[in-house]
Amino acid sequence: MTVVRDRVIQALAKRAGDLAAAATGPAQEPPEAGAIRQRLLLLSDMDDMPEIRSAIEILKQQLRALQVIDVSPDQERLCELFADPATLQLATDQELRAIVLEFVEAIVWPGGLESLSITLR
């Protein structure tokens, strides 16, 4: 299986920049946030009533609670990791397995080493 491992590492190295960019894409806002923003917009015209002001404040608190913290990996470091096959060669099988699960769509080996096909996400 070292052949498959080597080919996966080569495929990752060829598309290092693309994979790093895909891994660090923008954080998406949860769908509930859009609904809360719509309610805030509707209530903002009626904020002269105390009950509405308290409802607006509650909605704002709910929206703040939904804010996504961006924990995406550093694109530059991922690019360096993928671009240098020697670095990936040092990875244990368990570490490489985590990378493969994240970035490899399919590994097809119908027979013979020439026919090994690796599809990245």
Q: Is a pLDDT exceeding 80 seen at residue 63?
A: yes
93 & 106 share domain:
yes
> Could you tell me what percent of the chain has a pLDDT over 70?
78
Digit-coded pLDDT (tens) for 64-83: 887 765 555 555 666 677 77
- Count of CB atoms within 10 A of residue 79's CB? 18
62 & 96 share domain:
no
What is the C-alpha to C-alpha distance for residues 118 and 100, in angstroms, rounded to an integer? 10
Q: Is a pLDDT exceeding 80 seen at residue 24?
A: no
State which residues form the domain around 58.
Answer: 26-71
pLDDT category at 85 given cuts 50, 70, 90 is confident
83 & 113 share domain:
yes
Exposure string of 33-43, with b = 16+ CB inside 10 Å and e = fewer, is: beebeeebeee
Of 62 and 72, the one with more pLDDT: 62
> What does the pLDDT read at residue 28?
63
Running DSSP on this structure, what letter comes out for residue 70?
Answer: -
With CA atoms as reference, report the closest residue to 44 among 64, 60, 63: 60
121 & 77 share domain:
yes
117 & 59 share domain:
no
Q: Calculate mean pLDDT across residues 26-35.
A: 73
1 in helix, strand or coil? Answer: coil
Q: How many domains would you assign to the chain?
A: 2
Q: Calculate mean pLDDT across residues 8-28.
A: 69
